[in-house]
Structure 1
Amino acid sequence: MAPVSTSDAQTVLKGLEGIRSEVEGYYRRLHAHPELGMMEVETAGLVAKLLREWGFEVVEGIGTTGVVGILRNGPGPCVLARADMDALPVREETGLPYASTVTGKDRFGNEFPVMHACGHDIHTAGLLGAARLMASARDMWQGTLEVLFQPGEETGAGAAGMVADGLTDRIPAPDVALAQHVLPFRAGEVKICPGPFLSSAQLFDITIHGRGAHGSMPEAAIDPVVIAASTVLALQTIVSRELAAKTPASLTVGKIRAGNAGNVIADTAELQLSTRSYDDGTRAHFEASIRRIVDAVAQAAGVQKKPDVVKIVDTEPVINDPEVSGKVAAAFAEFFGAAYAQTGSATPSEDFPEIPKAFGVPYLYWVIGCTDSALFDSGKDIPTNHSPQFAPALQPTLDTGVQAMVVAFLVWLGKS
């Protein structure tokens, strides 16, 4: 590969001025019409329509609503870039003129307000903008560009669903995979963490089966609420007593539900918990210990039916390839100057690694800032991802997302 140069990117990105208003329009439309995971029908339709207009081959309906656009431009490497499309069951409180008023139903038929509270609308619009620029400047690069729009990142099932639906047989195998995400640091900044970056996540649903009775006759019951309380406390010892003190890991019981009245002992209690870790050994230890502790506490209470422990999410940690990180970091440093910086590991989780893992290729996942500089410097509280007040600064966030993708593409595809 030739030495890293951003001259090709600077030439391609001259076209951004002419399409900026359209890219902003994509974003506003997506933000105002969010869709829950694995149900992104309107979003996927818009993406597929635009990609076809720009000359991409389009493969639709991968893992429900996944879309991949393929642009072949002569011999050379194949680069895949991914954007997630799904929104969250959150009621928007941003006050934006294009704020969502949408409601949607989950797979169980429950209706919720829906909002792009994590920035996936920025990711989708930014990748669309980068794809359009690349399609308009084919004389500046060669190889194959694949832009993948993924459903259901928030559910943890989207990437795996695309893989299970034959992704690797339906598109050319890439040489490298790329993705980006907005976070609430200063808009216009870009950051890369080589090596371990984001933690793995596991989510467990637990049902404890007791025996109900009148609240005045606890001797007739096997109280699942008491068992649940003991279980919550016992689970905390996994991190504090089973893992080395230097091991970065967390376990959170975020949901407890039981009963309908204060004078009735319920038959069952439900827990939902999540874990975070950075290596496969810790991840496996968490699962084994959770199952052991839940069973043991219930058995000690004399239950007649073992608890149900169902793992509903299991994502791998995001571990950026050092060589890919180095090449893109050099290009970002040249293009963005002081707005580029290296960052450290963080605790959010992602299912993106499922895609490069399926192809057996290295990957890089970087982050871009989305907080207006005046707010960032004000000392006021900054709404984070998943907050009902989360409102990325439209610019320079979108420009930065488009620029970062184009610069990264041309590390492999550029002619200079």
Structure 2
Amino acid sequence: MDLMASLQDSIGQELAWQIPLYEQFHRHPELGLAEHETSAAAADNLARSGFDVRHFGGTGVVGVLANGAGPCLLARADMDALPVAEATGAPFASTVPGVMHACGHDIHVVALLGAARYLAGHRDGWRGTYVVLFQPAEETAAGSLAMLDDGLAAGIPRPDVALAQHVMPTEAGTIGTTPGPILSAGDSVRITMHGRGAHGSMPHKSVDPVVLAASIVLRLQTAVSRETRPGEFAVLTIGSVNAGATANIIPDRAELLLNLRTYNMAVRSQMLAAIERIVRGECAAAGSPRQPEFEYYDQYPLTSNDPEANARVTAAFTTTFGADAVYRTAPQTASEDFSRIPDAFGAPYVYWVVGSVPRETYRQAVAAGTVDTDIPANHSPFFLPAVDPTLRVATQAQAAAALAYLGAGAS
């Protein structure tokens, strides 16, 4: 049985149960590592479809479906919501104050459950082992680590390839793929600089950390503009500067919160070294009484698609959706922790993006040049994918990518 040929018609029928489940998840969002109801619903759906269900990292869920000799494929969906107050006005809007599925992870979960149920119901059309993984806490980069720390790598079959996808504020019905980097590495750094406090009327008795912080903020931008090779990508953002509490007291310390995005690990290492060198140098020039302190947190790995695997999955998408619906996407400056999972197995992976904005709405915004201002992006309180066709396409994409490896004729 050639499942790939009948994929669109067959999976389109799944929406009857998928849409209510999506609306349920959207009404009841759960933050990272607290996805208890979402996790339980995913596990229940998998068990009813015949998957061997396993749990890792607290709320992480894995379903394993062995179906004869063949390759092993892992597909992942993230489950967590964000601390955002919803403003979409949707009839199925969040009922949890200050928490919202503002990044589309509810679509991801239901799409993967749909693909899992479809493959489980059509086992005569594929061979191998299908592993579906529902990951907590992507938004804090903690979920993949929690699952791996809980024995994931030893607790499931080793995949030959891994898959993941993300809805984005692009045209619904389209899919974007690319070989190589598709999401940036991300690093957040808390930098504490030490000064010497004094009364505001006696600045000569101080080492002013406010002036020091200002110098560092300005100088750090040269790490991009003067130390990064033209054509290489790096974004360095100072998101917070904190020092003192009153107007007439020079404080004894200042704190910067910094975020770095890169597509190249050599550039990342160069930038991190430059950050520390600049901060230490400015502190020495100011006469700081103590060395600065650096705390690295919310660190995301680079997401870089295997070229051969990406070509294979892209070909499957072109067959399923048509060439007009599949395009080569530019790398995104967002970051993800998915790649830690295939990296733990030494397996290649493919990550792609699924459009979620109604076609006419998106095309009108493109024509007007207002995409950045009129189309709500991920993490916005107004972000709400068009359920159909987004959910249908995301489900078909997971199934098509899996069948590219497991289906009849795959090798």
Q: TM-score range by the shorter chain?
A: over 0.9
Contact 2:78–2:138 (Cα < 8 Å) also in 1: yes
Amino acid at match of 2:47: R
Question: Equivalents in 2 of 1:45, 1:260: separation in Å?
Answer: 46
Corresponding position of 1:123? 108
Amino acid at match of 1:43: T
RMSD over equivalenced CA pairs, Å: 1.6
How does 1:94-133 map onto structure 2 within 5 Å? 94-103=88-97, 113-133=98-118
Corresponding position of 2:246? 261
Flag the 1:336–1:232 CA change in 2: closer, same or farther, 3 A.
Answer: same
Q: Which of 74, 80, 83 is the equivalent residue of 1:86?
A: 80
Contact 1:192–1:366 (Cα < 8 Å) also in 2: yes
Question: Equivalents in 2 of 1:224, 1:21: separation in Å?
Answer: 60
Corresponding position of 1:342? 328
More moved, 221-230 vs 317-326: 221-230
Question: Equivalents in 2 of 1:40, 1:265: separation in Å?
Answer: 45
Question: Equivalents in 2 of 1:311, 1:238: separation in Å?
Answer: 18
Contact 2:193–2:255 (Cα < 8 Å) also in 1: yes
Question: Equivalents in 1 of 2:151, 2:328: separation in Å?
Answer: 35
Q: Which of 16, 22, 25 is the equivalent residue of 1:27?
A: 22
Flag the 1:207–1:135 CA change in 2: closer, same or farther, 3 A.
Answer: same
Corresponding position of 1:230? 215
Count matched residues.
401
More moved, 379-388 vs 356-365: 379-388
Deviation at 1:198, TM superposition (A): 1.6
Deviation at 1:12, TM superposition (A): 5.1
Question: Equivalents in 2 of 1:367, 1:162: separation in Å?
Answer: 24
**Within the alignment, does 1:301 sit opposite 2:295 as a pair?**
no
Deviation at 1:54, TM superposition (A): 1.3
Corresponding position of 2:354? 368
Contact 1:74–1:142 (Cα < 8 Å) also in 2: yes
Question: Equivalents in 2 of 1:270, 1:7: separation in Å?
Answer: 60
Aligned residue for 1:205, secondary structure, equals strand
Q: Which of 166, 169, 172 is the equivalent residue of 1:181?
A: 166
Question: Equivalents in 1 of 2:130, 2:102: separation in Å?
Answer: 29
Contact 1:92–1:101 (Cα < 8 Å) also in 2: no
Flag the 1:16–1:334 CA change in 2: closer, same or farther, 3 A.
Answer: closer
Question: Equivalents in 1 of 2:385, 2:2: separation in Å?
Answer: 29
**Within the alignment, does 1:151 sit opposite 2:136 as a pair?**
yes
Corresponding position of 1:138? 123
Aligned residue for 2:388, secondary structure, equals helix
Aligned residue for 1:370, secondary structure, equals strand
Amino acid at match of 1:389: F
Question: Equivalents in 2 of 1:247, 1:17: separation in Å?
Answer: 42
1:178-206 deviation digits (Å, cap 9, x = unpaired): 00011111111011111222211111111
Amino acid at match of 1:330: A
How does 1:318-333 map onto structure 2 within 5 Å? 318-333=303-318
Deviation at 1:313, TM superposition (A): 2.7
Amino acid at match of 2:328: Q
Structure 2 length-normalised TM: 0.94
Question: Unpaired segments of 5 or more residues in structure 1?
Answer: 1-5, 104-112
**Within the alignment, does 1:413 sit opposite 2:406 as a pair?**
yes
Corresponding position of 1:106? none
Question: Unpaired segments of 5 or more residues in structure 2?
Answer: none
1:316-367 deviation digits (Å, cap 9, x = unpaired): 2211111111111111111111111222222111111111110011110011
Deviation at 1:77, TM superposition (A): 0.7
Amino acid at match of 1:267: D
**Within the alignment, does 1:352 sit opposite 2:338 as a pair?**
yes
Question: Equivalents in 2 of 1:133, 1:190: separation in Å?
Answer: 20
How does 1:70-85 map onto structure 2 within 5 Å? 70-85=64-79
Question: Equivalents in 1 of 2:318, 2:379: separation in Å?
Answer: 30
**Within the alignment, does 1:289 sit opposite 2:283 as a pair?**
no
Aligned residue for 1:55, secondary structure, equals coil
Question: Equivalents in 1 of 2:49, 2:128: separation in Å?
Answer: 17
Question: Equivalents in 1 of 2:263, 2:113: separation in Å?
Answer: 31
Aligned residue for 1:242, secondary structure, equals coil
Question: Equivalents in 2 of 1:63, 1:212: separation in Å?
Answer: 45
Q: Which of 386, 392, 399 is the equivalent residue of 1:393?
A: 386
Contact 1:298–1:307 (Cα < 8 Å) also in 2: yes
Amino acid at match of 1:83: A
More moved, 372-381 vs 268-277: 372-381
Question: Equivalents in 2 of 1:210, 1:52: separation in Å?
Answer: 59
Contact 2:238–2:258 (Cα < 8 Å) also in 1: yes
Structure 1 length-normalised TM: 0.92
Question: Equivalents in 2 of 1:295, 1:39: separation in Å?
Answer: 39
Aligned residue for 2:138, secondary structure, equals coil
More moved, 208-217 vs 131-140: 208-217
Deviation at 1:130, TM superposition (A): 0.9
Question: Equivalents in 1 of 2:232, 2:7: separation in Å?
Answer: 44
Deviation at 1:282, TM superposition (A): 0.8
Deviation at 1:13, TM superposition (A): 5.0
Corresponding position of 2:42? 47
Amino acid at match of 1:87: A
Aligned residue for 1:247, secondary structure, equals coil
Between the aligned residues of both structures, percent identity stands at 50
Contact 1:259–1:269 (Cα < 8 Å) also in 2: yes
Question: Equivalents in 2 of 1:292, 1:147: separation in Å?
Answer: 44
Amino acid at match of 1:201: G
Moved beyond 4 Å, runs of 4+: none
